[in-house]
Structure 1
Amino acid sequence: MVALAVTYPRWYTLVHRGVSVMVRVLSGSAAGTILCLGKFDALHRGHQALLQAAAELGPPSMLHLSGMAEVLGWEPRPPLVCPGERPAILGKWSEVLGKEICVLRIAFATVRTLCADDFLAFLHKDLQVGGVVVGEDFRFGHQRRGDVAQLQSWAEKHGLPVQVVPMLQEEVPGRGLIPISSSCIRRALEQGEVDLAAHLLGRAYRITGRIVRGDGRGRELGFPTANVADVANMLPANGVYAAQAVLADGTSWWAAVNIGYLPSIAQQRQLSVEAHLLDYSGGDIYDQAMRLDFHAHLRAERRFSSLEALRQQIAIDCQRVREFGNGTRP
């Protein structure tokens, strides 16, 4: 019997469009559920397709292996989804499916050494799954020696349904077919292509952080900014973006967001994320949480010849954000 380590709360209760939905974390087995296998790091449209296929067969569940990077010695990298945002995303998916999504969290170290046959036995005897859904490139077991054919043969022997979901692809004008994968989403963000990332995710790419005091340079230029620190997930490439800022009180504001080093202000500055909220005239929001949903890359960060030239460009950036928010700019 493999020991299961659960660190999430057992239940998430969420309200989406006025409907209460629940995402449950299992403490022991996935008995009777249709288990989706994958990394589920980005929670993108491909992962949603797996859960949709599972929901058509029975109660959907997903296996989340924690600590994989640490065990395998991979270089640490920020996640694509802030951990605090995962319950809300899964809650929305649960509401769309009309079924509760169960999430089984297991430490990767507990299953790493299992050969393919032992991993399948683990699914059958320990988790007592009612079926399995995987992507077409799924591999399992020690050294990834198990494949879809072996999984299908095992399932047939035990009378369990298995569904293999082809990899989804997105037709992008001028780019052809783009696979919907976490790797493609990371590459898009590295290039500042937040619109492409949104297509692959099925939602705007979001970062979360805490508003801290800056040096007041934005206010001096006539464009006060909310400086975002403690960002929990991957930042898009340096540059200026059109985004929507969601404050702790739930209000949403279109914002011009700069990610970078502000080369026109000083030579040696730390990387910063600064958002100018259009038309915001509210009170003190320091030390509050803020979410930024990215919609479009406006331009690269660059050094200007004077602060006046910078001020004029920021005004242009804000107008472009306003046009984007009004739907007058594609």
Structure 2
Amino acid sequence: MQILHAIGPLLPDSAACLGAFDGLHRGHQALLSRASRASRHTALVTFDNHPAHVLAPEHAPPLLQRPGQRARVCEQLGVSQLVLLPFDRTMASRGAVEFVRDVLAPLRLDALVVGADFRFGRGRDGTAGHLVQLGARYGIDVAVIEPVPGPGDAPAKISSSTIRADVAAGELEAAATALGRWYSVEGRVQRGAGRGRGLGFPTANVASRSALLPPDGVYVALLAALAADGSLASPVHAAVANLGPAPTFPQGTGDATRADLEVHALDVDLRQTLYGSDVEVWLGPRLRDPQRFASPAQLQQAIAHDIERARETIGSDPTRLALARLQPGADQRG
């Protein structure tokens, strides 16, 4: 997959999806599914910065993905080119016509796919309907896709804001349903106090860089190392993770620095290879709240039970829970 940072022609026979795409959830995947059928190459055109962080930083939401996470999911979904347009005050000042003329037309698209609620141009004045009309003027065939409904009887569409609320509330199974994979965070492994090893459950101590974390607790998890270029450098390993403090060992009893996540890989000891490395950690169902145990032996018993439940949840193929895949027929025709 190519990552582009400037406006210019895409690969020949390209269809693109346009939007902010925080999370690359199932609604976004519906757009990509339509684009993948329209042309030989699929491009995702978005911004290097969420517009809200420029226009109203005091109200900007915490993002579901860091740039590297978004790029990895794009590659998993079969995107040929990821176009990261600079979003600044100059970009924000372009009217709808200027945006199509100066930004979209130079991409030389065969087709463009957007959601029905898509807005663009200065003050978000342009609608999906306007884009269809302007696209015809510049030789771009624009398809408008209806929102993907939420799970079950939920009347609301799948949206990044709903997923953020689910993650913040610890509703990670609902978030996973909307994302099409488990929610994940990025971080760097640092040396800890070594207590997990002493208990027989060595952990990778991860200082999270992600803006949004669920409530403290113990979670079923998955873990993979990242290469210098941001790609996955290891298989996805089944794990359990403790998010937040360790109540049985109060802070100040050996903690030089406190990691956000302590992650124990179930079937492989990765500590020596991960120190100083970046990792991605996927968080699944919550196993229990933070709990202070009367003794290390009681904590060992609880961790062993956590691991047993994690194995039952994950099964034999952790990759299926972590990596994004386009589902056949995922798009809603509009």
TM-score (norm. length: structure 1): 0.78
**Among 265, 268, 278, the residue aligned to 1:280:** 268
Q: Which amino acid aligns with 2:42?
A: P
**Given the superposition, is the C-alpha separation of residues 113 and 321 from structure 1 closer, same or farther in structure 2, using an over 3 Å criterion?**
same
Moved more, 294-303 or 29-38: 29-38
**Among 277, 293, 302, the residue aligned to 2:282:** 293
Contact 1:208 1:233 in 2 (8 A): no
Partner of 1:314: 303
- How many pairs does the alignment contain? 300
Partner of 1:17: none
Report the alpha carbon displacement of residue 165 of structure 1 after superposing the two structures with TM.
0.7
Unaligned runs of 5+ residues in structure 1 are 1-21
| Counterparts of 2:104 and 2:259, CA distance in 1 | 49
Moved more, 181-190 or 203-212: 203-212
RMSD over aligned Cα atoms:
2.9
Other structure's SS at 2:200 match: coil
Moved more, 58-67 or 183-192: 58-67
Partner of 1:65: 47
TM-score (norm. length: structure 2): 0.77
Partner of 2:146: 166
Report the alpha carbon displacement of residue 240 of structure 1 after superposing the two structures with TM.
0.8
**Given the superposition, is the C-alpha separation of residues 291 and 125 from structure 1 closer, same or farther in structure 2, using an over 3 Å criterion?**
closer
* Higher relative strand content: 1
Deviations 1:235-289 (A, max 9, x none): 2321111112224662443211000122232167856210122243466232233
| Counterparts of 1:105 and 1:303, CA distance in 2 | 48
| Counterparts of 2:21 and 2:298, CA distance in 1 | 45
Q: Which amino acid aligns with 1:220?
A: G
| Counterparts of 2:235 and 2:136, CA distance in 1 | 52
Partner of 1:147: 127
Report the alpha carbon displacement of residue 123 of structure 1 after superposing the two structures with TM.
4.2
Contact 1:61 1:104 in 2 (8 A): no
**Among 284, 295, 302, the residue aligned to 2:291:** 302
Partner of 2:324: none
Partner of 1:34: 15
Q: Which amino acid aligns with 1:74?
A: P
| Counterparts of 1:25 and 1:127, CA distance in 2 | 11
**Given the superposition, is the C-alpha separation of residues 130 and 277 from structure 1 closer, same or farther in structure 2, using an over 3 Å criterion?**
closer
In the TM superposition, 1:4-83 aligns within 5 A as 22-25=1-4, 27-30=6-9, 33-58=14-39, 59-67=41-49, 68-75=51-58, 78-83=62-67
| Counterparts of 1:123 and 1:109, CA distance in 2 | 15
Unaligned runs of 5+ residues in structure 2 are 227-232, 317-334
Q: Higher relative CO (CA 8 A, sep ≥ 6), structure 1 or 2?
A: 2
Question: Does residue 209 of structure 1 match 2:187?
Answer: yes
